């Protein structure tokens, strides 16, 4: 998913700078050109003060000096009405998105901060950032043996440019649902396409129900956008079925949803993550009714949601991963009668690049732990970051979480925990969307749990055959063991050409199927 981690940073820093400008300049902040500051603060004091008003403080060391100076800071300046060399913040927006952004006043015409204060902030970041970020260091042992999977390429139709945005396996029908651009396919484990649909926009998530049609979420615009073109609706697969019609439209770039009876009325409700871009929303809809929307957050960046009773009160709680400027995991505790209380349990810098999480009990203590990936790198700071990878946060029994494991992996987009070797503990598979394409070890990893959460990493050479945005883990071939399915996404033919030049590979499947070796 194109999430722009540095856009998250710019957005967060500038919101904070607006707060600071208001604080220092008094009642009027328009314009500030002729005003004198009441206080002379250093660049660090300014940065620390405004950042901590809204989010965790981004240290200069999170990015290299060139990225700060040439990319991040100029874009941040535009959000404050300071445009370097006549830069136009609207040049890449279509007319509809430009109108939305102008109405939100994301890029003001008049400066919101004194030039000398802005210069201090720029100097602070440029002078204190490293010339080059350090490289990642191994945290586990690596085996020379190939990961214990045999591979099979899945190519559907004559589409040369894979754009897989959805992979979900329907266990009841043994079908893998593949969303490729505006097409959706149901693939049997025999290799037969059992059904296909032409959609109005790419699919982002699907939920299967035993006695009714699946629920399908379409994103509207895949690229960053604030247009309300997304939709959650039934996917018709049965003739004359009695499924209740569901149609929630005008969603702002929705990427994920989960359903459960949230308010105890014996009717299913749904939580929808409208990721958006500059604006967004996290909402739940009572009984799937569009008129009964309850907004949990109006911030952009709602990435994914899980519903689980985490405090043992027999009421389902909502666990949400937020990206964009406010990178965090929050639990919305269910207080009953449709009321929720938010508690932030993990919080990260605005360039962390969170991309996926799941709940799992890694130490068998009966409490849900968190597996988290961070590697979103499709942005202005397309540089390798040493803090990208996958992490395990253990639950202390009171829903406080502490990092206990880190595997470094540039551009990590997703990780899934399963007992692949059937020894009673959880192993992990992880993929990267922004990997070094010269090295398959950066695209896919299998982490074998040796006990006591000590892992050994192995890889697969066929991971070179794609840019893996999506991953599903399920028993595809019916042997009662989990298999891995990777979905490839290439944004355009220019990106494909770079992959061809780097790897020498000229043909790419939509899906790489990895089944366990006998």
Last residue of a domain, one of 296, 320, 347: 347
Q: pLDDT tier at 324 (50, 70, 90 boundaries)?
A: confident
Q: pLDDT tier at 35 (50, 70, 90 boundaries)?
A: low
With 0-12 / 13-18 / 19 or more C-beta atoms within 10 angstroms meaning exposed / middle / buried, residue 276 is buried
The DSSP bridge pattern shows strands 141-146 and 455-459 to be parallel
Residue 438 lies in a domain: yes
Residue 247 lies in a domain: yes
Residues 337 and 365 in one domain: no
Locate 167 and state its tokens.
Answer: 């992979």
Last residue of a domain, one of 108, 128, 148: 128
Mean pLDDT computed over every residue of the chain: 89
DSSP H or E stretch at residue 334: strand 328-336
Judge contact between 149 and 518, C-beta under 8 A: no
Residues 258 and 229 in one domain: yes
Question: What total of structural domains would you count in the chain?
Answer: 3
Tell me the pLDDT tens digit for each residue of 380-426.
778 899 999 999 999 999 999 999 999 999 999 999 999 999 999 99
Q: pLDDT tier at 1 (50, 70, 90 boundaries)?
A: very low
Residues 54 and 149 in one domain: no
Looking at residue 26, what is its pLDDT?
33
Last residue of a domain, one of 291, 316, 347: 347
Tell me the pLDDT tens digit for each residue of 171-213.
999 999 999 999 999 999 999 999 999 999 999 999 999 888 9
Residues 370 and 307 in one domain: no
Closest CA to 254 of 11, 485, 1, 472: 1
Closest CA to 202 of 162, 247, 157: 162
Which residues, 6+ apart, have CB-to-CB distance to 420 below 8 Å?
A: 148, 427, 429, 446, 448, 481, 482, 516
Q: How many CA atoms lie within 13 A of 55 on its CB side?
A: 27
Taking the whole predicted model, whether its pTM rises above 0.85 is answered as yes
Residues 394 and 336 in one domain: no
* Structural domain span for residue 18: 5-128
Q: What is the DSSP string of 341-398?
A: EEEEEEE--TTS-EEEEEEE-SSSSSS-EEEEEE----SS--S--TT-EEEEEEE-SS
Residues 367 and 503 in one domain: yes
Judge contact between 215 and 168, C-beta under 8 A: no
Which residues, 6+ apart, have CB-to-CB distance to 3 below 8 Å?
A: 224, 275, 301, 303, 323, 324, 353, 355, 376, 378, 379
DSSP H or E stretch at residue 332: strand 328-336
Tell me the pLDDT tens digit for each residue of 327-384.
999 999 999 999 999 999 999 998 999 999 999 999 999 999 999 999 998 777 788 9
Closest CA to 248 of 259, 237, 264: 259
Looking at residue 24, what is its pLDDT?
37
Residues 366 and 505 in one domain: yes
Res 23 pLDDT > 70: no
Residue 95 lies in a domain: yes
Residues 359 and 343 in one domain: no
Residue 173 lies in a domain: no
Residue 300 lies in a domain: yes
Domain containing 294 — which CATH number? 2.120.10.30
Residues 361 and 501 in one domain: yes
Residues 284 and 399 in one domain: no
Judge contact between 60 and 9, C-beta under 8 A: no
Segment among 33-37, 49-53, 90-94, 466-470 with least mean pLDDT = 33-37
Mean pLDDT of 108-130: 91
Mean pLDDT of 32-53: 69
Residues 337 and 240 in one domain: yes
Residue 168 lies in a domain: no
Tell me the pLDDT tens digit for each residue of 239-254.
666 677 899 999 999 9
Looking at residue 426, what is its pLDDT?
98
d(CA 247, CA 237) in angstroms, rounded, equals 16
Q: pLDDT tier at 53 (50, 70, 90 boundaries)?
A: low
Residues 286 and 261 in one domain: yes
Locate 397 and state its tokens.
Answer: 């029994």
Residue 171 lies in a domain: no
Q: pLDDT tier at 57 (50, 70, 90 boundaries)?
A: confident
Residue 178 lies in a domain: no
Query: Nearest 10 degrees: CA dihedral of 63, 68, 73, 75?
Result: -80
């Amino acid at each position: 998913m194109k999430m722009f981690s540095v856009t998250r940073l710019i957005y967060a820093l500038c919101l904070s700078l607006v707060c600071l400008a208001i604080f220092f300049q008094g009642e009027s902040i328009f314009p500030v050109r002729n005003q004198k500051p009441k206080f002379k603060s250093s660049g660090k004091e300014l940065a620390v003060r405004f950042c901590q008003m809204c989010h965790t403080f981004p240290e200069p060391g999170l990015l290299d000096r060139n990225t700060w100076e040439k990319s991040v800071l100029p874009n941040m300046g535009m959000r404050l009405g300071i445009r370097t060399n006549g830069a136009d913040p609207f040049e890449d927006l279509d007319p509809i998105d430009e109108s939305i952004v102008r109405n939100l006043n994301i890029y003001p015409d008049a400066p919101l901060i004194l030039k000398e204060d802005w210069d201090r902030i720029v100097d602070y970041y440029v002078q204190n950032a490293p010339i080059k970020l350090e490289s990642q260091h191994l945290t586990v042992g690596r085996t020379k043996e190939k990961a214990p999977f045999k591979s099979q390429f899945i190519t559907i139709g004559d589409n040369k440019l894979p754009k897989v945005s959805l992979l979900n396996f329907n266990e009841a029908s043994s079908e893998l649902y593949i969303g490729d651009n505006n097409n959706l396919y149901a693939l049997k484990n025999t290799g037969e396409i059992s059904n296909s649909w032409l959609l109005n926009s790419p699919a982002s998530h699907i939920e299967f129900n035993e006695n009714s049609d699946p629920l399908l979420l379409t994103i509207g615009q895949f690229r960053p956008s604030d247009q309300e073109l997304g939709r959650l609706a039934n996917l018709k697969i049965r003739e004359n079925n009695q499924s209740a019609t569901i149609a929630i439209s005008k969603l702002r770039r929705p990427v994920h949803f989960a359903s459960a009876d949230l308010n105890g009325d014996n009717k299913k409700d749904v939580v929808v993550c409208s990721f958006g871009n500059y604006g967004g929303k996290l909402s739940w809809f009572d009984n799937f009714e569009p008129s009964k929307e309850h907004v949990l957050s109006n911030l952009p960046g709602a990435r994914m949601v899980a519903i689980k009773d985490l405090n043992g009160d027999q009421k389902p709680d909502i666990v949400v991963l937020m990206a964009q400027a406010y990178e965090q995991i929050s639990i919305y505790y269910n207080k009953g009668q449709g009321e929720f209380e938010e508690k932030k349990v993990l919080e990260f810098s605005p360039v962390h690049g969170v991309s996926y999480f799941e709940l799992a009990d890694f130490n068998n203590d009966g409490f849900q732990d968190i597996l988290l990936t961070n590697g979103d790198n499709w942005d202005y700071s397309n540089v390798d970051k040493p803090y990208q990878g996958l992490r395990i946060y253990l639950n202390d029994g009171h829903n406080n979480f502490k990092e206990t494991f880190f595997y470094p992996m540039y551009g990590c987009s997703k990780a899934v925990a399963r007992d692949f070797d059937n020894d009673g503990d959880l192993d992990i598979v992880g993929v990267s969307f922004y990997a070094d394409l010269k090295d398959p070890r950066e695209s896919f990893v299998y982490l074998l749990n040796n006990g006591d959460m000590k892992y050994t990493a192995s890889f697969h050479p066929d991971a070179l055959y794609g840019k893996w945005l999506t991953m599903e883990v399920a028993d595809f071939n019916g042997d009662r063991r989990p298999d891995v399915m990777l979905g490839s996404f290439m944004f355009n033919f220019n990106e494909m050409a770079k992959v061809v030049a780097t790897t020498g590979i000229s043909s790419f499947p939509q899906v790489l199927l990895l089944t366990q070796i006998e």
